[in-house]
Amino acid sequence: MNTPEEFETLKKENENLKKNNAVKSDLISISAHQLRTSLSALKWIFKMFLDRDLGAITGEQEGLIKKAYESNERMIHLVNDMLTLNHVEDTALTFKMADTDMLALMEETLFEFSGESHKKNIEIIFLKPTETLSKVSCDKEMIRVVFQNLVENAIKYSAEGDKVFCSMREQDEAIEISVRDTGIGIPKDDQENIFAKFFRAPNAKDKDIIGSGLGLYTTKNIVDHHKGKIWFESSEKGTTFFVVLPLKQ
Ligand code: ADP
């Protein structure tokens, strides 16, 4: 047991930590937003060159501008992932819980990614349950981030013309969601690190697929805060991610 004096000291230290954390998080958010504004401006300038809006360019110039454009895209992706993670860590204690229709949320997410999947000629098949599902008490915008990360990865790590399957079912007072792809898979040796901050498996990096290694870390963070579970099964033939969210916590 702590003495009243020790308790007061701990309380003060805790308040200081909270204050420092808020300052750090504001700093990340402000710098990341400023970075993103500059990177977006660069993106449009590179694009104007590539679209020949500013006149003719040589093949050599085009090659270099393309490289700059892609490198800029990687930075935009990283900054966006950093902003999402910062937001999740910031608001984790004040999640806005409300009864949410998971099926509708997944449909919204899939619609959002229809452009991406179309570009790669990937068909997304949503195997919807026949029965009506109970709603889940959750922070809708945070669970949207979970769905977005899983669907985005399934498309990103699949080859052109592949299929992605989503499914949903209710079991034991919880909703189970799965997202399956037939993509590059996660090598056995890397599987234990997959939810670690900034981790990217070598087969993803070798293929030059844009990523930051923050998506699944953020996803797990959100699922944990909802007292849910997340896991995956993977082989060279593809990957399936599973998320289980209890109806009530
Ligand atoms: P990233 O931005 O790199 O995709 P994530 O945190 O979302 O970051 O994922 C971490 C790593 O897990 C990826 O870099 C990739 O190596 C692996 N990974 C995630 N999802 C898949 C998937 N569906 N298929 C194959 N590998 C995946």
Mean pLDDT (the chain) is 94
Q: Is the CB of 155 under 6 A from ligand 1?
A: no
Gap from CA of 193 to ligand 1 centroid (Å): 11
Gap from CA of 142 to ligand 1 centroid (Å): 19
pTM of the model: 0.89
> How open is the CA angle 165-221-23, to the nearest 5 degrees?
135
Q: What does the H/E/C string look like for 27-60?
A: HHHHHHHHHHHHHHHHHHHHHHHHCCCCCCCCHH
Question: Please, are residues 116 and 162 in contact by the beta-carbon 8 Å criterion?
Answer: no
Residue 6, pLDDT score:
87
pLDDT in tens, the chain (249 residues): 678 888 899 989 989 988 888 888 888 889 999 999 999 999 999 999 999 999 999 999 999 999 999 999 999 999 999 999 998 888 777 889 999 999 999 999 999 999 999 999 999 999 999 999 999 999 999 999 999 999 999 999 999 999 999 999 999 999 999 999 999 999 999 999 999 999 999 999 998 899 999 999 999 999 999 999 999 999 999 999 999 999 997
Strand order in the sheet with 229-235: 123-127, 163-171, 174-181, 238-246, 229-235
Q: Is the CB of 162 under 6 A from ligand 1?
A: no
Condensed to tens digits (0 to 9), the pLDDT of residues 15-46 reads: 998 888 888 888 888 999 999 999 999 999 99
Q: Is the CB of 178 under 6 A from ligand 1?
A: no
Quick one: which of 190, 232, 234, 183 has its CA closest to 209?
183
Question: For residue 149, which atom of ligand 1 is closest to its CA?
Answer: 7
Beta-bridge partner residues of 232: 241
Q: Is the CB of 204 under 6 A from ligand 1?
A: yes
Give the residue, out of 194, 198, 237, with the most ligand 1 atoms within 8 A of its beta carbon, to mutate for a pocket test.
194
* Burial track 10-29 (b if 16+ CB lie within 10 A, e otherwise): eeeeeeeeeeeeeeeeeebe
Question: Please, are residues 145 and 85 in contact by the beta-carbon 8 Å criterion?
Answer: no
Give the residue, out of 157, 182, 241, with the most ligand 1 atoms within 8 A of its beta carbon, to mutate for a pocket test.
157
Separation of alpha carbons 85 and 18, rounded Å: 17
Beta-bridge partner residues of 239: 181, 234
Gap from CA of 203 to ligand 1 centroid (Å): 10
Quick one: which of 203, 208, 213, 214 has its CA closest to 239?
203
Condensed to tens digits (0 to 9), the pLDDT of residues 58-73 reads: 999 999 999 999 999 9
